[in-house]
Chains A and B, each alone.
Chain A
Amino acid sequence: MADEQLYFEDVQGNEELSPFAITITRTHIVKYAGASGDFFPIHHDEEFAKSVGLPSVFAMGLMHGGMLTRMVTDWAGDGRVKRYKIRFATMVWPGDTLTFKGKVVKKYQEECENLVDCELSIVNQNGENAITGNATVSLPLKQ
């Protein structure tokens, strides 16, 4: 929801994006199941999850992987993402508090585009990575 457009010239080489935190509930997971179409029972059916030896349901990686995109789009502006890639690491359980983080790692021009690469991560309350990833955004110049 960037009210003022970010320009390429204004990006700092090692700028940190504004972090935020979300404590995950079963409601987040069920809501994302319906929105995304991921109805694998291991994510919403507690009895099924326990029957396969898990302590409870756990979140789809793309749920928090989707929540993470706001960090980039709030900063870079709407419709600026060229590429977004995430790797799934540790599982996310109801009650986990996730911290969403990002920073600029590279700023360059390529094929008449002004590109910025960011490194992203989602870390749980124990300091474990739930997701690591990166994004490339294309930004306008001031003139």
Chain B
Amino acid sequence: MGNIDKGMIGKKLNEFEFPVERGKVKEFASAICDPNPVYQDKEYARNRGFEDVIAPVTFPITSGFHLSSDNFVLDTALELGMDPGKSVHGTFEVIYQRPMCAGETLRGEMVIGDIYEKEGKRGGMMTMVEMTNNFYDEEDSLVVTLKNVFIERS
């Protein structure tokens, strides 16, 4: 533990545009083996009351394509003082206010959440680092929040 900079709690890291694209939604749905037409067929989605195809639940993870660099998350972890060799992805959480639809462009904000220590199940301390992405629509309403917790073992 020790080396992780708690002064970074609450720091806004990046703001970026996240276009929700129909082709990307279809590709992602196929990669998670989900044949639901609501992810592929605009007419089907419209008949169900959506503006366009909607995005699968974990689709916001693809927002990484729109960050300023390919290694943004790794670089951030290093900037925080984390040791990538001792760190793992602990949890992933997504919280929806409404489904995301193809055709909209969301504004993403990436923020460092809480940083705290916790005792590991097999003894030893672990440091938990939360990284949060909030996505807002054109009306500036929150659509979805994505939270990742990375764990560094001491």
Which residues of A are at the interface with B, using a C-beta cutoff of 8 A?
Answer: 1, 22, 28, 31-32, 34-39, 61-63, 65-67, 69-70, 72-74, 78-79, 81-88
Stretch of B3-11, B59-67, B105-113 on the interface side = B59-67
How many A-B Cβ pairs are below 8 Å?
105
Q: Which residue in A63, A81, A88 is a CB contact (below 8 Å) of B57?
A: A81
Nearest Cβ in chain B — how far from A137, in angstroms?
A: 10
- With A31-B30, A78-B48, A79-B99 already in contact, the answer to whether A73 and B94 are too (CB < 8 A) is no
Nearest Cβ in chain A — how far from B65, in angstroms?
A: 5
Q: Which residue in B33, B88, B89, B96 is a CB contact (below 8 Å) of A82?
A: B96
Instruction: Beyond A62-B58, A69-B58, A83-B93, list 8 extra A-B contacts (CB 8 Å).
Output: A1-B38, A31-B30, A36-B28, A63-B32, A66-B32, A70-B32, A81-B96, A82-B96
Q: When the two chains form their complex, are residues A69 and B56 in contact, meaning their CB atoms are under 8 A apart? A: yes
Query: What separation, in Å, do the CA atoms of A84 and B58 have in the docked complex?
Result: 8
Nearest Cβ in chain A — how far from B48, in angstroms?
A: 6
Is B43's CB within 8 Å of the partner chain A?
no
Nearest Cβ in chain A — how far from B145, in angstroms?
A: 9
Q: When the two chains form their complex, are residues B31 and A31 in contact, meaning their CB atoms are under 8 A apart? A: yes
Q: Which residues of A contact B65 (CB under 8 A)?
A: 37
Size category of the binding interface on chain B: 35 or more
Is B120's CB within 8 Å of the partner chain A?
no
Q: When the two chains form their complex, are residues B34 and A67 in contact, meaning their CB atoms are under 8 A apart? A: yes
Is B92's CB within 8 Å of the partner chain A?
yes
Which residues of B are at the interface with A, using a C-beta cutoff of 8 A?
Answer: 24, 27-28, 30-38, 45, 48, 50, 54, 56-58, 61-62, 64-65, 70, 88-96, 98-99
Q: Which residue in B37, B64, B93 is a CB contact (below 8 Å) of A1?
A: B37
User: Could you give 21 example pairs across A and B, Cβ below 8 Å?
Assistant: A31-B31, A32-B32, A34-B31, A35-B28, A35-B32, A36-B31, A39-B70, A63-B31, A65-B58, A66-B31, A66-B32, A66-B57, A66-B61, A72-B57, A73-B34, A79-B38, A83-B96, A84-B94, A85-B91, A87-B91, A88-B92
Q: Which residue of B lies closest to A82 (CB)?
A: B96
Query: What separation, in Å, do the CA atoms of A28 and B91 have in the docked complex?
Result: 21
Q: Which residues of A contact B54 (CB under 8 A)?
A: 78-79
- With A36-B28, A78-B50, A81-B57 already in contact, the answer to whether A88 and B88 are too (CB < 8 A) is yes
Query: What separation, in Å, do the CA atoms of A67 and B30 have in the docked complex?
Result: 10
Q: When the two chains form their complex, are residues A36 and B36 in contact, meaning their CB atoms are under 8 A apart? A: no
Question: 3 closest pairs, A vs B, by CB?
Answer: A35-B31, A66-B32, A79-B99
Query: What separation, in Å, do the CA atoms of A61 and B36 have in the docked complex?
Result: 22
Q: Which residue of A lies closest to B39 (CB)?
A: A78
